[in-house]
Amino acid sequence: MKHILLTGGAGFIGSNYLNHILNERDDYFIVNLDKLTYAGNLENLKGIENNKNYRFVKGDICNRELVDYIFQKYSIKYVINFAAESHVDRSILGSEIFYQTNVIGTNVLLETARRYNVEKFLQVSTDEVYGSLGAEGLFTENTPLSPNSPYSSSKAAADMMVNAFYHTYGMPVVTTRCSNNYGPLQFPEKLIPLMTINAMHDKKLPVYGDGLNVRDWIYVIDHNKAINLVFEKGRTGEVYNIGASREMKNIDIVKLLLKAVGKDESLIEYVKDRPGHDRRYAIDSSKIQTELGWKPEFEFEQAIENTINWYKQNRNWWERIISGEYVKYYNNLYMNR
Ligand code: NAD
Ligand code: DAU
């Protein structure tokens, strides 16, 4: 039995991972440590909450005593660190919590993992640490880190720390860097759920700048399968890029979503650009493909349709979210654009 501490499992990617993996593996015992910030939602985990190989602990990865207690109590030997403040716009509104959770929190996990001689520490990172591309080229694992937002700089700092623990202490670490995810259970501050839900409400769709920024999209299930492969077979000290080679301009995504929801393009509103907005992301994932035999299984057209249908069929899930605190956040970010 592998005793795993998984952090941030009540968020978008972590909850998709848990829902999938606990039905697939009976040799994993997983403790999910999640602070339940605005982005964490236990409703995402209803299907597995009584699984005998699963425990939930509400708490902060920055809490050294709690993290130590979990390692001891559950004989933790593996860590998968999903927990993070994950939204670029929020990091622009206020950066402190990003450095606290993403940098200090990762340090607490690494230090504790070192004391307990973990057998593997997987850091879930992002392609945003590489900065921005021009019209040509792809991010490889050798692209220098050049983060531009408080969010991406905090993730890059964590990546460097993970690397330092490998070189200095010989810790068995491995890092994944994935491109933009979409799928069920994504918090509606991110482009795809935000635009889909706004369109359903006949609300304006706020496109930043000229709408020509490019993101490279991957279905969350493909990302999670790659994470699991790296967790099982990734080489210690290595970084693996993950992406599905599906570059799209933001405006094209927005038009596609409008069409799928049956709404008119007159809902599009160009608004003031995001400060420091990275122009283009695109991933070269040939390393994980050739070394570990991973490849994306989902076609974008089918997976985006599944995603939009999920938001159509799960109004209760997002209606609860977009009332309350979300209204304050939304008005604060979008009113002055
Ligand atoms: P999310 O914001 O949906 O979820 C983050 C989760 O972490 C939430 O459940 C939240 O409660 C928890 N959390 C936050 N601070 C915490 C703390 N201090 N202690 C414990 N738990 C805490 O994020 P996501 O989109 O699921 O992203 C998960 C990870 O994947 C992040 O590390 C992110 O950087 C990375 N990533 C995301 C994407 C993407 O497109 N969403 C792409 C590549 C990498
Ligand atoms: O690349 C991986 C990253 O992808 C992850 O590390 C981050 O956690 C995740 O949030 C995501 O970052 P982005 O900033 O690329 O995602 P977001 O959904 O916020 O924005 C996608 C694009 O859409 C980006 O170019 C900004 C634009 N956008 C976004 C919003 C929310 C708009 O034009 N209007 C909007 O209202």
Q: Above 90 in pLDDT, residue 46? A: yes
To test the pocket of ligand 1, the residue of 5, 33, 37 to mutate (highest count of ligand atoms within 8 Å of its CB) is 37
Q: Which pTM value belongs to this model? A: 0.98
Provide the pLDDT confidence category of residue 4 given band limits of 50, 70 and 90.
very high
pLDDT digits (tens, 9 = 90+) for 189-226: 999 999 999 999 999 999 999 999 999 999 999 999 99
Instruction: For residue 80, report the phi and psi dihedrals to the nearest 5 degrees.
Output: -125, 115
Q: Is the CB of 62 under 6 A from ligand 1?
A: yes
CB of residue 105 inside a 6 A radius of ligand 1: yes
14 lines ligand 1 (CB under 6 A): yes
**Probe residue for ligand 2, chosen from 180, 198, 268 as the CB with the greatest number of ligand atoms within 8 Å:** 180
Domain residues of the chain, as ranges?
A: 2-335
In this structure, what are the phi and psi dihedrals at residue 3, rounded to the nearest 5 degrees? -95, 110
CA atoms within 13 A on the CB side of 136: 0
Of all protein residues, whose CA lies closest to atom 29 belonging to ligand 1?
Answer: 82
- Report the half-sphere exposure of 21 (CA within 13 A, side-chain side): 29
Contact 283, 179 (CB under 8 A): yes
d(CA 88, ligand 2 centre) in Å: 7
Other Cβ atoms less than 10 A from the Cβ of 74: the count is: 16
DSSP string, 96-137: HHHHIIIIIIHHHHHHHHHHTT-SEEEEEEEGGGG--B-SS-
- Alpha-carbon distance 144 to 8, whole Å? 27
Please compute the mean of the pLDDT values over residues 237-262 and round it to a whole number: 98
Tell me, rounded to whole angstroms, the distance of Cα 160 from its chain centroid: 18
Residues with C-beta less than 6 Å from any ligand 2 atom: 86-88, 126-128, 179-180, 190-191, 194, 206-208, 213, 215, 250, 274, 281
Of the candidates 36, 29, 88, 8, the one whose C-alpha atom is nearest the C-alpha of residue 333 is 88
> Is the separation of the CB atoms in 103 and 162 below 8 Å?
no
Work out the average pLDDT over 165-194: 98
At 25 the pLDDT is 97
Residue of minimum CA distance from atom 23 in ligand 2: 191
Only one residue has tokens 């230090």, namely: 111
DSSP reduced 3-state for 277: coil
Query: Which residue from 32, 33, 86, 127 has its CB within 8 A of the most atoms of ligand 1, so it is best to mutate?
Result: 86
Residue 163 has pLDDT above 90, yes or no: yes
What architecture does CATH give domain 2-335? Answer: 3-Layer(aba) Sandwich (3.40)
For residue 58, give the DSSP letter: E
Cα of 150 from ligand 1 centre, angstroms: 15
The C-alpha atoms of residue 91 and residue 60 are separated, in whole angstroms, by: 19
**Residue 337: its pLDDT value, please?**
84
The answer to whether 179 and 243 are in contact (CB under 8 A) is: yes
- Angle (CA) 334-272-131 rounded to 5° is 100
Please compute the mean of the pLDDT values over residues 167-182 and round it to a whole number.
98
CA of 25 to the centre of ligand 2 (A): 32
